[in-house]
Amino acid sequence: MTDLIDGRRASDYSSTAAKRRLVKRYRAEARFRAYGVLGLILTAAFLAVLFIDILGKGLPAFWQHSLMLRTPLVPAEIDPLGAHDPKQIASADFGKIVKDVLASQFPYVKSRAERKLLNSLLSSGAADALRDRVIANPALIGTTVATPALLSADADLFFKGRLTKVEAEPAKSAATLNIQPQERYEILSPDGAFAASLAEIKRHLGARVALLRAEVQGLLAQRPEIASRLAQARDGGNSAEALRLENSLQSIDLKSAELQTRMQNLEIRASSSSASEKLDATLPSILAAANGGLIKAEEISADRLIGPALVPPRSAASLAPGDWSIVTYQTPQSFRRIADQQIAWLEHLKGQGLIDRHFNTRFFTSGDSREPELAGIRGALVGSLLTLLVTIVLCLPVGVAAAIYLEEFAPKNRLTEIIEVNINNLAAVPSIVFGLLGLALFLNTFGLPRSAALVGGLVLALLVLPTIIIAGRASLRAVPPSIKDAALAVGASHQQAVFHHVLPLAMPGIMTGTIIGMAHALGETAPLLMIGMVAFIVDVPSGITDSATVLPVQIYLWSDLPEIAFEAKTAAAIIVLLAVLFVMNGTAIVLRRRFERRW
């Protein structure tokens, strides 16, 4: 291979070894390339999961459920004086009117506790629409109107299927309905119509046994380690430690013994497949819909179901196959925020066609609230708008002026260099540090108002200033010097050349940079937390010194709340925020494409 032929080294690139080497090299090549593709695919997958997750969580929050009730507007209740005085009308107890109408749907609901449960289906703002409508048109008083009454967040979530799955299976066999003492109803189905439901319950018990077993095993797994440490402590004469470990061993033993007993009891119940089962709140609810009523099982066996009526049946007539059905609420009652009784009522109302699903305009028209169904982002949107207004008013002129100075007027000296290095470093200072600046300087030293859009805007202006200066300089630099020369040659001063010719030509680039900077400011959260824009603020701010919050902070606040309904609200607010950001960035891209000049 290394013989010299005619003074050249001969290499044999056709030998099998060489070919094998080449194949290997190409395989390495393909692998290397695949890493890059893989990295991008992972990134894309993350983005896709993120967007799908947020859309899935947030989109339902843009719809809401209301109760469409025909409400009689009795003059004596609303406007006893008949003067149509808006103040008088506004002070009327519309909440009671709406609740009464709801109660009239359920004449069998009598006890105070049940009334309360029923009323809790309605939002505390249920009567708002009615009140507004009557105030706007007092002539309605004395008539009956159909107005949507907002449902509570839990009722709303139920209709969105977030709380439990409801399954209704028409029964294929005949049965009899008997009234028992203590307002209990009994359904007897000799053909064993409840066998499937019973099996389902047993399966649940079985699953719970498995969970308990894992827990017991986990506890026991800790035992050997503690025991060995105990032995060590005893050997080392560390009696305090030994005592502590002994105690913990004991408590583990006690706990595992207790769990084991529970597990065994459950196991017996789960394995005896035909025995009847008592249902509690930790098991799925089994109900029977018969003769217009709904009976909730307290106990079932394959052929018998007994329990109270959530909706009383019209009669005790016997049930033909297909006339009645078995209903299951999959999620056990104690794991959901809505009672079986409430579900029964809601299903009844839905069956009457009284539930209306509509776009959640309230989300865009009202401020924050402790009630998820009433909470909206208007306050945060207006707060964001005011804050951004302050930001752009401050940082656009200052940023452009600074860019002009550095590009056009700055002498090449140490001071200029300091300013340039400074701007580059400022662009990478963590945003929370700007929050500290705002807190220490604007709030504590200058005494500007806390939580106000003014201070938020100031802080964000300082935050995005480097972005705008850097973008501004880049676009000023992109204007060819020949344009400036042309202006200078006809006797324009340096400043005239800059302000009449260079700046206008750089403007699209500056605007693009500004929009991107503003988008950055719009999504910024941390520095605003520092200056107190995290307060719970119901009112929509009306000026830059009012207490306000902004959209990202609202998202942060809502994400911290425990109610599931707020999780959807949070995701919905995120959707709005992302939509605004996409529009802003899209505008920037269009602007760049449209006005990009090739010199």
Say how many C-beta atoms besides its own lie within 10 A of residue 251's C-beta.
11
* Residue 168 binding another protein, by CB under 8 A: no
**Among 166, 194, 191, which Cα is nearest to 307's?**
194
Query: Per-residue string for binding with another protein, 260-299, x by CB under 8 A?
Result: ----------------------------------------
Give CA separation, 193 vs 162, 302, 514, in Å: 29, 6, 70
Q: Which two tokens stand for residue 246?
A: 């002994």
* Residue 157 binding another protein, by CB under 8 A: no
Widest CA span in the chain: 122
* Residue 428 binding another protein, by CB under 8 A: yes
CB of 91 to another protein, least distance (A): 22
* Residue 460 binding another protein, by CB under 8 A: no
* Residue 505 binding another protein, by CB under 8 A: yes
User: 212-249: b or e for each residue (b if 16 or more CB lie within 10 Å)?
Assistant: beeebeebeeeeeeeeebbeebeeeeeeeebeebeeeb
Give CA separation, 433 vs 403, 443, 533, 553, in Å: 24, 14, 16, 17
Helix axes 195-236, 239-271, angle to 10 degrees: 160
* Residue 43 binding another protein, by CB under 8 A: yes
Identify which range of 159-167, 239-247, 296-304, 393-401 contacts another protein by CB under 8 A. 393-401
* Residue 116 binding another protein, by CB under 8 A: no
Residue spans of beta strands (DSSP E) within 132-196: 144-150, 166-170, 176-180, 184-188
* Residue 483 binding another protein, by CB under 8 A: yes
Identity of the residue, 316 or 526, whose beta carbon is nearer to another protein in the bound complex: 526
CB of 459 to another protein, least distance (A): 10
Cβ–Cβ under 8 Å, residues 121 and 345: yes
* Residue 591 binding another protein, by CB under 8 A: no
Using CB under 8 A, which of 469, 471, 506, 576 touches another protein?
Answer: 469
* Residue 11 binding another protein, by CB under 8 A: no
CB of 406 to another protein, least distance (A): 6
Identify which range of 68-76, 310-318, 348-356, 528-536 contacts another protein by CB under 8 A. 528-536
CB of 75 to another protein, least distance (A): 36
Q: Which two tokens stand for residue 149?
A: 């009454």
* 7 CB burial (10 A radius; 0-12, 13-18, 19+): exposed
Dihedrals phi, psi of 278, to nearest 5 degrees:
-85, 130
Identify which range of 72-80, 91-99, 301-309, 405-413 contacts another protein by CB under 8 A. 405-413
Identity of the residue, 432 or 538, whose beta carbon is nearer to another protein in the bound complex: 432
CA distance 438 to 461: 11
CA distance 227 to 232: 9
Identify which range of 125-133, 188-196, 276-284, 479-487 contacts another protein by CB under 8 A. 479-487
Q: Which residues contact 139 (CB under 8 A, 6 or more apart)?
A: none
Q: Which residues contact 320 (CB under 8 A, 6 or more apart)?
A: 174
Identify which range of 62-70, 87-95, 424-432, 536-544 contacts another protein by CB under 8 A. 424-432
Using CB under 8 A as the binding rule, the residues of this chain from 48 to 67 that contact another protein are 49-50, 53-54, 57
* Residue 576 binding another protein, by CB under 8 A: no
Identify which range of 173-181, 281-289, 332-340, 428-436 contacts another protein by CB under 8 A. 428-436
* Residue 423 binding another protein, by CB under 8 A: yes
Using CB under 8 A, which of 377, 462, 511, 568 touches another protein?
Answer: 462
* Residue 441 binding another protein, by CB under 8 A: yes
Cβ–Cβ under 8 Å, residues 581 and 390: no
Identity of the residue, 133 or 501, whose beta carbon is nearer to another protein in the bound complex: 501
Using CB under 8 A, which of 47, 146, 231, 583 touches another protein?
Answer: 47
Identify which range of 42-50, 107-115, 121-129, 132-140 contacts another protein by CB under 8 A. 42-50
* Residue 422 binding another protein, by CB under 8 A: yes
Using CB under 8 A as the binding rule, the residues of this chain from 532 to 551 that contact another protein are 532, 534
Q: Which residues contact 353 (CB under 8 A, 6 or more apart)?
A: none
Report the length, in residues, of the chain: 599
CA distance 178 to 333: 26
* Residue 354 binding another protein, by CB under 8 A: no
* Residue 474 binding another protein, by CB under 8 A: no
Using CB under 8 A, which of 308, 312, 332, 523 touches another protein?
Answer: 523
Say how many C-beta atoms besides its own lie within 10 A of residue 352's C-beta.
10
Using CB under 8 A, which of 120, 501, 561, 592 touches another protein?
Answer: 501
Amino acid type, 428: A
Identity of the residue, 340 or 567, whose beta carbon is nearer to another protein in the bound complex: 567
CB of 481 to another protein, least distance (A): 8
